[in-house]
């Protein structure tokens, strides 16, 4: 997803911490600015390897990983594969847990859509025509609509997004729940996008997890980096990071 979607989080945490992130592989311009970058692999393993590649690129030995929505799954997968991820915070995660937790109607609908468009470029082009209707676009939150629409903006982007996010949404997360790092798991009972029961199951199974169920806020407001959520993140980060935080 576009980095602008989490710009408030970056700004809020950067005063105390060195914060780095990246944009989803294959969905943005190539390094030379000519067309989309190479997608290469699209599996969850490949996307979790991107976390470690970003650390390598910035010369960072180890880090806390903060993930929202599908990013929570990527962060969890990175933690399961490497102890360079020293702690986790997983916000409103969209998890595949088999029969262990229900999914919302939105989750089921999006998963069906991604399965369809990932079958081929022709299928993605046909669905793109349907999704370009004004009624679809009018349903998006105006202040972040330009970020939300990006992976649906062209048939090729939609096809690639189907592969990338489809891999995240369909990956069984139960095999990742032995990750030993301390973890903060956050959800809200008002989230009708990613079912809160998924986060509650994940928090119950991770060996060192703390669950916070917020009384307010839906799925998209988690991306806003509001004061209460940032304070919660800072509280947890202070408990798991060294005093000289800006240099870590």
- In the chain, domain spans: 3-234
Q: What is the per-residue pLDDT across 107-134, written as a single tens digit (0 to 9) for each?
A: 999 999 999 999 999 999 999 998 887 7
Taking the model in full, what pTM does it have? 0.94
- Mean pLDDT over 57-80 rounds to 97
- Mean pLDDT over 142-156 rounds to 93
Non-local (6+) Cβ contacts of 237 within 8 A are 13, 16, 17, 64, 87, 89, 245
Is the CB of residue 50 less than 8 Å from the CB of residue 59? no
- Mean pLDDT over 207-234 rounds to 94
The pLDDT, as a whole number, for residue 59 is 97
Distance CA(237)–CA(224), nearest Å, equals 18
The pLDDT, as a whole number, for residue 248 is 47
Distance CA(247)–CA(17), nearest Å, equals 7
List the CATH code of the domain at 3-234: 3.40.50.1820
The pLDDT, as a whole number, for residue 243 is 52
Distance CA(158)–CA(128), nearest Å, equals 7
The pLDDT, as a whole number, for residue 6 is 94
Reading the block at residue 81, the tokens are 């594969």
Q: What is the per-residue pLDDT across 161-201, written as a single tens digit (0 to 9) for each?
A: 999 999 999 999 999 999 999 999 999 999 999 999 999 99
Secondary-structure breakdown of the chain: helix, strand, coil percentages, each rounded to the nearest 5: 55, 10, 35
Q: What is the per-residue pLDDT across 18-27, written as a single tens digit (0 to 9) for each?
A: 999 999 999 9
């Amino acid at each position: 997803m576009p980095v602008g979607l989490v710009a408030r989080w970056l700004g809020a945490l950067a005063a105390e911490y060195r914060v780095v992130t990246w944009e989803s592989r294959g969905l943005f311009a190539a390094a030379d600015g000519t067309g989309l970058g190479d997608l290469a692999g699209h599996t969850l393993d490949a996307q979790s390897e991107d976390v470690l590649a970003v650390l390598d690129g910035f010369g960072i030995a180890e880090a806390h990983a903060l993930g929202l929505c599908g990013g929570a799954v990527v962060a969890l997968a990175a933690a399961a594969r490497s102890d360079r991820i020293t702690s986790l915070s997983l916000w409103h995660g969209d998890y595949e847990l088999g029969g262990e937790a229900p999914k919302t109607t939105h989750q089921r609908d999006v998963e069906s859509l991604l399965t369809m468009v990932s079958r081929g470029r022709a299928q993605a082009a046909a669905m793109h025509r349907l999704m370009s209707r004004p009624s679809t676009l009018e349903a998006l939150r105006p202040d972040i609509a330009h970020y939300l629409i990006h992976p649906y903006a062209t048939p090729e982007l939609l096809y690639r997004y189907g592969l990338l996010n489809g891999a995240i949404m369909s990956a069984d997360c139960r095999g990742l729940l032995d990750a030993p790092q301390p973890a903060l798991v956050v959800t809200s009972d008002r989230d009708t996008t990613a079912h809160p029961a998924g986060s509650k199951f994940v928090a119950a199974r991770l060996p060192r997890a703390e669950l916070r169920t917020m009384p307010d806020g839906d799925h998209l407001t988690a991306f806003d980096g509001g004061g209460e959520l940032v304070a919660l993140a800072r509280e947890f980060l202070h408990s798991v990071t060294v005093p000289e935080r800006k240099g870590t």
